[in-house]
């Protein structure tokens, strides 16, 4: 069966072997620009908006086989037939699924703070908070910020989410992410990914204060990724690239240069 792929929005810079970076849920390629430009000293870096995020098309379904097929379509349209892949959170599951489905197109695989397992629902309060913002009557970003703070109470999360708020030509506001579809497919987003084991070199990066990669996940990870290693960054949470960019950069550079 042919999946309904979309043409993804992206930015590219640098020169050298291709390295494709995928963001997480509610994110966009802009979240990785600082790190991407540093990596572009050695690689041609492609920062990509996944479907229903950023400036990429809004479309259904939103599940990992489809997201992986979007990535394959993107690579082929850019004449990329083998690349390093790096994905964070939802993007990490996308690149894992892609590696299962297209192992010959993957050089080194980097998965940031996510495992190939199913998770409990953790984002319902975020969906609820975003849905409470009255986009048609919204007068300012500050008003949206105040509403989100009332329901979320964490300034870092609120500022991250506010990057999704954009103005239409008529001055009204909209969310860049496709909130209804993401909510509808949330069970698929937090669900597991699976396939034949990927034998290529794989690096899992764990935030030491995050619970997304737990000790009980590791035997399953090693079954699916037998040539994998785990690198833990102490004292940081799920947004590893925002909290410890230098440590992450150095470890990723070291791994991508290795022949393992």
Name the residues annotated as catalytic.
89, 238
Task: Name the 3-class secondary structure at 204.
Answer: strand
Contact 80, 38 (CB under 8 A): no
Q: Nearest 5°: phi and psi at 83? A: -155, 160
Task: Name the 3-class secondary structure at 27.
Answer: coil
Q: How many helices and strands in the chain, by DSSP H and E?
A: 11, 9
Nearest to 193 by CA among 90, 40, 75, 113: 90
Can you tell me the distance from the alpha carbon of 177 to that of 179, in angstroms, rounded to the nearest whole number?
6
Can you tell me the distance from the alpha carbon of 160 to that of 129, in angstroms, rounded to the nearest whole number?
13
Contact 95, 111 (CB under 8 A): yes
CB atoms within 10 A of CB 206: 25
Contact 183, 126 (CB under 8 A): no
Can you tell me the distance from the alpha carbon of 94 to that of 86, in angstroms, rounded to the nearest whole number?
10
Contact 107, 82 (CB under 8 A): yes
């Amino acid at each position: 069966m042919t999946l309904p792929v979309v043409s993804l929005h992206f930015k590219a810079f640098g020169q050298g072997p291709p390295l494709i970076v995928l963001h997480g849920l509610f994110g966009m390629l802009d979240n990785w620009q600082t790190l991407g430009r540093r990596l572009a000293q050695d690689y041609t870096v492609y920062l990509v908006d996944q479907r229903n995020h950023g400036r990429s098309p809004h479309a259904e379904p939103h599940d990992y086989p489809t997201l992986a097929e979007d990535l394959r379509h993107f690579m082929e349209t850019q004449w990329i037939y083998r690349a390093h892949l790096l994905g964070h959170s939802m993007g990490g599951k996308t690149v894992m699924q892609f590696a299962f489905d297209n192992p010959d197109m993957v050089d080194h695989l980097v998965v940031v703070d996510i495992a190939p397992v199913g998770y409990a629902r953790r984002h319902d309060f975020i969906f609820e908070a975003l849905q409470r913002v009255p986009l048609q009557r919204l007068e300012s970003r500050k008003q949206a910020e105040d509403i989100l703070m009332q329901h979320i109470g964490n300034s870092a999360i609120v500022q991250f989410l506010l990057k999704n708020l954009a103005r239409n030509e008529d001055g009204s506001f909209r969310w860049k992410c496709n909130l209804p579809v993401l909510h509808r497919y949330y069970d698929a987003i937090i669900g597991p990914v699976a396939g034949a084991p990927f034998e290529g070199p794989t690096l899992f990066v764990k935030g030491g204060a995050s619970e997304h990669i737990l000790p009980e996940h590791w035997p399953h990870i090693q079954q699916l990724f037998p040539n994998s290693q785990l690198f833990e960054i102490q004292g940081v949470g799920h947004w590893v690239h925002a909290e410890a960019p230098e440590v992450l950069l150095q470890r990723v550079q070291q791994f991508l240069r290795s022949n393992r």
